[in-house]
Amino acid sequence: MLKALALGVSLSLLASLAMAQDSAEGPAKFEAVLKAHAQLPAQTFLPAPVDAPAGLQMSGRFTSGTRVETPYGWANPASGIAMPFPGQPLQGMSGVRSLGEDRFLFLTDNGFGNKANSSDAMLMFNILKMDWDAGKVGIEKTIFLKDLNRVVPFPIVTEHSESRYLTGADFDPESIQPVGENYWIGDEFGPWLIEVDAEGVVLQVIKTNPAGVDYKSPDNQFTSQPAAGAVVAGINTGRSGGYEGMAQSIDGTTLYPLLEKPFFDEASGTLETIGDKTVLRVLEFNVADAAWSDTVRYYPLEDAGNAIGDFNIFEGTRGLIIERDNNEGDDGREKAAAFKRIYLVDLARTDENGVLEKIAYIDLIDIQDPEALAPRGSKDGVFTFPFVTIEDVDLVDATTIVVANDNNYPGSTGREAGRADDNEYILLDVADFLKAE
């Protein structure tokens, strides 16, 4: 299938040369070898469904900070992309599950970066088919989210339409898991858990309240915005700090939503730390009962300013978590990408405080590409993935993972300054990493 597969011997040799640190110094580092690369051009759009309100046939009106109704009447300063544009952008991949046979479930982000500017961006997920040899991405199916049965507990943007499609001002979907015939989606605004059927119709919206504690971000629809400098009781997850990753147990009975930012401890007035590490909460949710467990685990950040990008379990209780800084680019910029890693963790391996052990990692700005498979981004046999938001990782087979970026269309320019990032999808040979103990 892949020309890279013919290089099995060389890949095995490279993988066997994994660079491991002494365990006393922290988790072991292992090499990742590029097996395949595909990309979806930044300028990829889908037509809105015919029954969508007329206002959703064009998107990006509010990205300049005010309304712009003239097509292509405003240009993004980072990339030069003109907006608004006809149709809906497919870009912004914020969650993935491998479906086998080069097919992947990908969730599209909320739109243009925040609640205020995304009311004309439709929420959707897609089944994509990769042609790894050609480096191209095919769209097999698109499912738009809608609240036909008026399940969402707050007014939505299209409240008074018949089709009631959801937009990026309603939810910020960041993670997705197929469970039976339905799908569960993790949201950042509430944070909420949302169950939808195979056609994208909302079945449940679950608030976050494990152990009776309500988790709310500043974008929660039932939160009043504070006056400047004021502190509002009950705001304990940061803006854009809800569910970024959400793993699923192998048997499909339990979801493990992971916050992107630290929990705010109202009692101390500080972000949550354990020991000398800032930590992120990993919660437990029982799917059958739609109920929260009281169990809380903690993911330790290497730096307090870092964030996570995705979380998927691939074997037993073993999982993969992306941790990254907020920088982009590898072309000499002042704030170039410096920390883009995927860590191996095990939910069964925590300390007495429930803090997860980081077993091993790979470095996404130090990927081996000895055969120069990447069309861009490789130099002297090393391929880099220097995007600000890398939000997709999952197991493909016993030795391979898929990784993809959220290109934050149209503002991120990690691959080339002044040029909007494409969505890039890569397969990595990480056999030894996946077996690390």
- What's the pLDDT band for 267 if we cut at 50, 70, 90? low
Q: What is the pLDDT of residue 11?
A: 42
Mean pLDDT of 153-171: 98
The answer to whether the CB of 382 falls within 8 A of the CB of 306 is: no
> Taking residues 68-89, what's their average pLDDT?
95
Cα–Cα separations (whole angstroms), residue 391 to 96, 261, 388, 407 = 8, 14, 10, 9
Instruction: Say what the pLDDT of residue 6 is.
Output: 41
Q: What percent of the chain has pLDDT over 90?
A: 86
The model's confidence at residue 227, banded by pLDDT at 50, 70 and 90, is low
d(Cα 311, Cα 319) in Å, to the nearest integer? 7
Return the pLDDT at 239.
86
Instruction: List strands edge to edge, sheet with 202-207.
Output: 173-179, 182-187, 192-196, 202-207
Question: In the predicted model, is pLDDT for residue 17 greater than 80?
Answer: no
Where is pLDDT greater, at 3 or 233?
Answer: 233
The residue behind tokens 């050609």 is 134
- What CATH number is attached to the domain comprising 69? 2.115.10
The count of structural domains within the chain is 1
Mean pLDDT along residues 157-184: 98
268 band by pLDDT with thresholds 50, 70 and 90: confident
Structure confidence at residue 29 (pLDDT): 98
The pLDDT of residue 226 is 58
pTM: 0.92
**Where in the sequence is the domain holding 304, given as residue range(s)?**
3-434
User: What's the whole-number mean pLDDT along residues 81-100?
Assistant: 95
**Average pLDDT along the chain:** 92
Encode 23-62: b = buried (16+ Cβ within 10 Å), e = exposed. eeeebbbbbbbbbbbbbbebeeebebbeebbeebebbbbb
Percent pLDDT > 70 in the chain is: 92
Q: Distance from CA of residue 237 to its chain's centroid? A: 17
- For residues 75-91, give the mean pLDDT: 95
In one-letter notation, the amino acid at residue 371 is E
Amino acid occupying residue 40: L
Mean pLDDT across the stretch 40-68? 96
Distance CA 199, CA 182 (A): 9
pLDDT in tens, 371-430: 999 999 999 999 999 999 999 999 999 999 999 999 999 999 999 999 999 999 999 999
SS (H, E, C) the chain: CCHHHHHHHHHHHHHHCCCCCCHHHCCEECCCEEEEEEEECCCCEECCCCCCCHHHHEECCCCCCCCCCCCCCEECCCCCCEECEECEECCCEEEEEEEECCEEEEEECCCCCCCCCCCCCECEEEEEEEECCCCEEEEEEEEECECCCCCCCCCCCCCCCCCCECECCCCCEEEEEEECCEEEEEECCCCEEEEECCCCEEEEEEECCHHHCCCCCCCCCCCCCCCCCCCCCCCCECCCCCEEEEEECCCCCEEEEEECCCEEECCCCEECEECCEEEEEECCEECCCCEECCCCEEEECCCCCCEEEEEEEEECCEEEEEEECCCCCCCCCCCCCCCEEEEEEECCCECCCCEECCCEEEECCCEECCCCCCCCCEECCEECCCCCCEEEEEEEECCEEEEEECCCCCCCCCCCCCCCCCEEEEEEECHHHHCCC
pLDDT at 238 exceeding the cut of 90: no
Per-range mean pLDDT, top range of 3-7, 24-28, 303-307: 303-307
pLDDT for 233 equals 65
Question: Is a pLDDT exceeding 70 seen at residue 241?
Answer: yes
Residue 189 · residue 174 · CB < 8 Å: no
Section 47-66 average pLDDT? 96
pLDDT at 21 over 70: no
Q: Tell me the pLDDT tens digit for each residue of 312-336.
A: 999 999 999 999 999 999 988 999 9
Spatial neighbors of 159 by CB under 8 A, at least 6 apart, are: none
Of 241, 222, 115, nearest to 168 by C-alpha is 115
Asked if residues 411 and 384 have their Cβ atoms less than 8 Å apart, the reply is: no
Assign residue 277 a region (left: φ > 0; alpha: ψ between -120 and 50; beta: otherwise). Answer: beta
- Count other Cβ atoms within 10 Å, centred on residue 66: 8
Instruction: Retrieve residue 87's tokens.
Output: 């149709």
Of 237-246, 267-276, 381-390, minimum mean pLDDT range? 267-276
Q: Is the pLDDT of residue 1 over 90?
A: no
